[in-house]
Structure 1
């Protein structure tokens, strides 16, 4: 083979590589443009009157005045919050919560029953789940699960209307988590109480999970993201009364792409489990540490409404948003929420 032929082939190979790189670059540049164009029309869907709120630990751990309870109850009513997840944990490694951490829980539930009787108060309990030797609570241990159930009983005895689990990370092969849900469901049904869970946003493609497993070592943070597959999410939805999807922390560079993220997860989740359980799509009232200019409450609510627009029909069960969190939501953000999300008082969309 002559040098001239070799150089010609090399030039052709370089040209092909250049065209391929240009094509990929075009796709990368096209995505934000397409997302921007898609983002412009105003959503047609209205929000709902079934909504949740995560509330800080101080409500169970510190004393409050009667006026403070009334003020909080008024905030819940005017913003049509139906469920509040009051942080009551975290669990200790053995599945207990020290009593000194929730010494004012009874006063809280009494005040809520007095001033906001239609709002469901749930004890928000979580911890870092042991995975591949890393974490705090080992729910694979039947003894730990039994103590978790005893802790749940304590909070139900204190007047809470339900138990809200936020155990992380939860992978879609986590049999122990499903066993815990089964046992807790027996308890909550006996007590006429609710069982709810917070889960990470589902996978974009279930088929990608084996690829993650093949490429990343399964030790702690290097394992694939702890996101539920469709089958796992269906399993969980069949065992609980509510699923709150932690859709926030988008980490996308533009507001339209972040909005697409909320829309996509709203449509996919409601289509998958909206007929089986109440779904709350988590929306943030804080600025995330990564790309804070792209994600806020306005983007999230608009994205959720765009996702509802894409549904062929409304879900059979109630649905709404879960505001994260009470302690980061300003008066201006509550006003935005009411204006852009809540339906007129005469409507009861989603609940």
Structure 2
């Protein structure tokens, strides 16, 4: 009995030490978070000096290609694009079916849309926004590893270019930084678009914070169905994409951070890092949101635009290629948000000064 009592005492002592260690660890983590938050808050206060640009993109809803619209609706769309200095619109024209095709019924009004954009917003490029969930380890979606599927994707691209679209905009998710099939598809698509004098653009997830973490994620979270490690582009992969694309749009939104200053720091960091890496070789659009965050975090248009401008402030020089923001999305942006976008982002001109 004495031995049992001694064992119990040892166990209770061990529990106390573990609890004490856990408490100190939690306190340290909370203290570090408080310091980071305080530093971000101080950094966030000065007004950004950089203004935005007149090269900007917009993701637009599928109804523009799939449903009829009146001339007045097309005219209003053209006015919105011109007023907000939108140079490229990614009109949702898919998604691809699993075999790499898009049923014609989904885009029956595409030609009418393209003609209307040329009439009411001359100079604005209408691109066919095409994508699908990437099949991962036998799950549902599109299998880009299959050469026959890639060939049908290219055949579908030709259809949209024949309809008059100014480019093809790919959004396949998830795309991992070892996805050679995706890069091969980009090579083939670039040959097609350049032979027609058109553009190839692509949406990508925000880059990794640390490239070396990708193998760790891969080991801990193997790809299986919907459970997989984050598909973040590494430095090498983003360079490879930039060498193949005329435009790269970074989906910087969906920021699960609790304060506006931390979310702004996120946008600033990705703006500076991406433009320094690929801004001399391809047009870059930093994605900013106008939808309502699901979890109520501090991610909104005002924070994103201010963060992007702070990132521009940190550049040693402007990129050689055009750059701007990509607004996600046309169907969630209110007139009030467009007014704030003009007031805080666009260069000061008599027709947009003050919104």
The answer to whether the superposition gives a TM-score over 0.5 is: yes
2:306 pairs with 1:330: no
| Shift in CA distance, 287/13, structure 1 to aligned 2, threshold 3 Å | closer
2:70 pairs with 1:65: yes
- What SS does structure 1 have at the residue aligned with 2:336? helix
Q: Provide the rounded CA distance (Å) in 2 between the counterparts of 1:86 and 1:279.
A: 18
CA deviations on 1:25-55 (whole Å, 9 max, x unpaired) are 2102211111111111100111000000000
2:30 pairs with 1:22: no
Query: Does the aligned pair in 2 maintain the 1:252–1:291 contact within 8 Å?
Result: no
Quote the residue 1:316 is aligned against. 320
CA deviations on 1:201-226 (whole Å, 9 max, x unpaired) are 00111111111112223313332101
2:293 pairs with 1:288: yes
Q: Provide the rounded CA distance (Å) in 1 between the counterparts of 2:20 and 2:182.
A: 53
Quote the residue 2:344 is aligned against. 340
Q: How far does residue 22 in structure 1 lie from its aligned partner after superposition?
A: 3.3
2:184 pairs with 1:174: no
- What SS does structure 1 have at the residue aligned with 2:218? helix
| Shift in CA distance, 19/130, structure 1 to aligned 2, threshold 3 Å | closer
Which stretch has the larger CA shift, 9-18 or 80-89?
9-18
Q: Provide the rounded CA distance (Å) in 1 between the counterparts of 2:130 and 2:26.
A: 49
Quote the residue 1:270 is aligned against. 275
Which stretch has the larger CA shift, 62-71 or 329-338?
62-71
Quote the residue 2:46 is aligned against. 41
| RMSD of aligned alpha carbons | 2.2
| Shift in CA distance, 144/343, structure 1 to aligned 2, threshold 3 Å | same
Quote the residue 1:131 is aligned against. 136
- What SS does structure 1 have at the residue aligned with 2:86? coil
| Shift in CA distance, 16/90, structure 1 to aligned 2, threshold 3 Å | closer
Q: How far does residue 65 in structure 1 lie from its aligned partner after superposition?
A: 1.0
Query: Does the aligned pair in 2 maintain the 1:282–1:323 contact within 8 Å?
Result: yes
Q: How does 1:135-284 map to 2 (within 5 A)?
A: 135-284=140-289
Gaps of 5+ in 2: 1-11, 351-355
- What SS does structure 1 have at the residue aligned with 2:165? coil
Quote the residue 2:122 is aligned against. 117
Quote the residue 2:89 is aligned against. 84
TM-score, normalising length: structure 1: 0.93
Quote the residue 1:102 is aligned against. 107
Aligned residue pairs, count: 344
Query: Does the aligned pair in 1 maintain the 2:290–2:329 contact within 8 Å?
Result: yes
- What SS does structure 2 have at the residue aligned with 1:210? helix
CA deviations on 1:229-256 (whole Å, 9 max, x unpaired) are 1100000000000000001000111111
Q: Provide the rounded CA distance (Å) in 2 between the counterparts of 1:296 and 1:168.
A: 23
Q: Provide the rounded CA distance (Å) in 2 between the counterparts of 1:75 and 1:33.
A: 39
Q: How far does residue 17 in structure 1 lie from its aligned partner after superposition?
A: 6.6
Quote the residue 2:4 is aligned against. none
- What SS does structure 1 have at the residue aligned with 2:128? strand
Which stretch has the larger CA shift, 231-240 or 29-38?
29-38
Quote the residue 1:300 is aligned against. 304
TM-score, normalising length: structure 2: 0.92
Q: How far does residue 24 in structure 1 lie from its aligned partner after superposition?
A: 2.7
Q: Provide the rounded CA distance (Å) in 1 between the counterparts of 2:16 and 2:143.
A: 59
Q: Provide the rounded CA distance (Å) in 2 between the counterparts of 1:117 and 1:73.
A: 8
| Shift in CA distance, 216/10, structure 1 to aligned 2, threshold 3 Å | closer
Q: How far does residue 291 in structure 1 lie from its aligned partner after superposition?
A: 2.8
Query: Does the aligned pair in 2 maintain the 1:53–1:322 contact within 8 Å?
Result: yes
